[in-house]
């Protein structure tokens, strides 16, 4: 139950912690007893929204997703012919090599996000990402594209993990689920923008540059601009956010006290890593992430599938935009419902998997000549993305202790990579045009994810009931850190339990969101 390096002060009857062991926000709130006025809290949140959400939503996550799907868009713009790619090579490039690289670098990326300033580390990765994306245009064969996609996967590992960390730093539990939804639904915007850029690229006719190469250059340039914006404007944490005054930083930290997860701790704690590895919910979330992202291979197959329905190339590039609209509407509605109905994460996620099951059924059994019906069925399968968005927010809200949090994030996103890496290989030429085997696998994965969300809810609900029956735990109620005041004197300041960098197991007052 205890933390390393804690010291018992019998004379004063309290525990003294080294400042390296507590949360970075502890220095700001130590000795603070007053509560934050709701009106002031709302003002601070709106200020945070104005400075963080545009960077998380508009340029970065949109471009991040758009960049990943450029290869899928390039398939109908001529890249397979130009680079002499076989179906198996294309599938490797489409997702597998990208996600193998993502998987290999996911844990190092999470360690770096803990060790270095979050905003600066992400901006560096986005810069490398931009260079790698532009380099696609110079590739003439499988080997060159393989190398470029590997670099993209390496950099990708920092983005979603970084956003998950930042979201819990700045927002309360209810605000958090909606904000995760906001920046994730920009994937839908990316599909729309990518569709229009692809459509425009089809009309670019130059001597040496093909349309798919222009697509890579355009998206790579947008990513480069994003890297510069991120470096100068994106904050590392509420304790040093450039757009907040010293007083507002303290209030920003006070706002998230109810989360009981603190801001961050820059020191790796091995015992928290082991706790994450032995926590059943870690592996349930990981299994969910793996199974839920096998169907994600549809993202890069959707335009090829629409083309197989009988639509021409120009129609396909524009119809692909509708998938983005479906994603925006479903994610926005799902996170809004989950934030307004207490403890409804699992139920909302399960409900949003049902339309996808219907879509899988229809796309398998509708007559092949009913291309409009098949198209709507394909769009219907996109509703399931809401379940993964809710799971991303949920795992952050149910995990405390910064090292435990980054370890859990790394495990979940590694599982996400495994699902995404495996998915492309189920799309084989021998299954075309109906693709019944891939669609059956997608249906089974969807059903499994519904069961897993229910299982996680049951596990966490039982733990909450167990803690409700326990006697109050006052182990960490009187914890002090030594600080230096303005006169240079050493003073001891009491730190709230919420900012001691305790894990969700150590803090018995922690209650899991359901």
Q: How far apart are CA 209 and CA 212, in angstroms?
A: 8
CA 369 to chain CA centroid, Å, is 38
Residue 95: CB atoms within 10 Å: 30
Q: How far apart are CA 448 and CA 300, in angstroms?
A: 23
Alpha-carbon distance values, 138 to 81, 98, 148, 239 (Å)? 15, 18, 10, 43
Q: Which of 99, 70, 83 is nearest to 425 (CA)?
A: 99
Q: How far apart are CA 224 and CA 127, in angstroms?
A: 6
Q: How far apart are CA 285 and CA 287, in angstroms?
A: 6
Tokens of 511: 């209650």
pLDDT of 1 reads: 43
**Per-run averaged pLDDT (10 residues), the chain, 514 residues:** 46 56 65 73 92 77 58 64 77 77 89 90 91 87 87 86 87 87 77 69 72 81 88 90 90 83 80 95 96 85 81 76 84 92 94 95 90 90 92 92 91 91 83 88 95 97 95 78 65 74 90 92
Q: Which of 47, 332, 406, 398 is nearest to 179 (CA)?
A: 332
14-16 vs 479-484, strand pairing mode? parallel
pLDDT of 195 reads: 66
pLDDT digits (tens, 9 = 90+) for 447-476: 999 999 999 999 999 999 999 999 887 777
pLDDT of 136 reads: 85
pLDDT of 439 reads: 92
Q: Which of 315, 285, 291, 287 is nearest to 303 (CA)?
A: 315
Q: How far apart are CA 417 and CA 171, in angstroms?
A: 27
pLDDT of 3 reads: 46
pLDDT digits (tens, 9 = 90+) for 497-513: 777 888 999 988 899 99
pLDDT of 4 reads: 44
**Number of residues assigned to the chain:** 514
- Name the region of 231 (left: φ>0; alpha: ψ -120 to 50; beta: rest): alpha
Residue 86: CB atoms within 10 Å: 11
| Radius of gyration, CA atoms only, the chain | 24
pLDDT digits (tens, 9 = 90+) for 335-358: 999 999 999 999 999 999 999 999
User: pTM for this one?
Assistant: 0.84
7-9 vs 490-494, strand pairing mode? unpaired
pLDDT of 8 reads: 46
């Amino acid at each position: 139950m205890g933390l390393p390096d804690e010291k018992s002060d019998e004379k004063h009857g309290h525990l003294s912690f080294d400042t390296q062991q507590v949360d970075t926000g502890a220095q700001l709130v130590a000795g603070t007893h007053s509560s934050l006025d709701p009106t002031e809290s709302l003002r601070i949140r709106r200020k945070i929204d104005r400075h963080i959400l545009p960077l998380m939503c508009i340029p970065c996550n949109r471009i991040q997703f758009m960049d990943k799907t450029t290869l899928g868009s390039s398939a109908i713009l001529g890249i397979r012919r130009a680079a002499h790619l076989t179906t198996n090579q294309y599938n490797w490039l489409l997702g597998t090599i990208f996600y193998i690289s993502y998987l290999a670098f996911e844990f190092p990326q999470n360690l770096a996000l803990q060790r270095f300033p979050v905003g600066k580390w992400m901006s560096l990765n986005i810069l490398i990402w931009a260079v790698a994306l532009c380099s696609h245009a110079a590739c003439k064969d499988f080997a060159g594209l393989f190398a470029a996609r590997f670099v993209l996967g390496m950099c990708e590992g920092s983005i979603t993990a970084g956003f998950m960390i930042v979201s819990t730093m700045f927002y309360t539990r209810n605000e958090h689920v909606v904000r995760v939804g906001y920046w994730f639904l920009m994937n839908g915007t990316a599909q729309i923008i990518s569709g229009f850029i692809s459509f425009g690229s089809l009309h670019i006719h130059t001597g040496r540059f093909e349309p798919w190469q222009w697509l890579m250059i355009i998206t790579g340039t947008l990513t480069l601009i994003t890297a510069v914006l991120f470096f100068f404007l994106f904050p590392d944490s509420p304790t040093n956010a450039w757009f907040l005054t010293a007083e507002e930083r303290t209030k920003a930290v006070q706002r998230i006290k109810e989360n009981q997860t603190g801001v961050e701790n820059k020191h790796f704690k091995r015992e928290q890593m082991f706790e994450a590895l032995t926590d059943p919910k870690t592996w349930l979330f990981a299994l969910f992430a793996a199974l839920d992202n096998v169907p994600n291979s549809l993202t890069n197959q959707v335009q090829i599938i629409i083309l197989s329905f009988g639509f021409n190339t120009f129609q396909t590039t524009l119809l692909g935009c509708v998938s983005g609209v479906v994603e925006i509407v479903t994610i926005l509605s799902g996170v809004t419902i989950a934030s307004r109905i207490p403890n409804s994460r699992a139920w909302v996620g399960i409900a949003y998997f049902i339309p996808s099951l219907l879509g899988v059924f229809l796309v398998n059994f509708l007559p092949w000549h009913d291309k409009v019906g098949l198209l709507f069925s394909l769009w219907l399968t996109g509703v399931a993305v809401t379940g993964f968005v809710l799971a991303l927010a949920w795992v952050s809200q149910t995990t405390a202790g910064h090292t435990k949090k980054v370890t859990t994030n790394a495990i979940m996103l590694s599982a996400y990579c495994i699902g995404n890496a495996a998915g492309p290989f189920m799309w084989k030429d021998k299954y075309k045009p109906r693709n019944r085997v891939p669609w059956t696998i997608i249906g089974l994965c969807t059903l499994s994810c519904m069961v897993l969300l229910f299982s996680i809810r049951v596990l966490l609900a039982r733990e909450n009931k167990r803690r409700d029956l326990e006697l109050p735990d006052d182990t960490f109620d009187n914890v002090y850190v030594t600080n230096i005041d303005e006169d240079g004197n050493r003073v001891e300041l009491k730190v709230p339990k919420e900012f001691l960098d305790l894990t969700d197991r150590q803090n018995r007052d922690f209650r899991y969101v359901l």
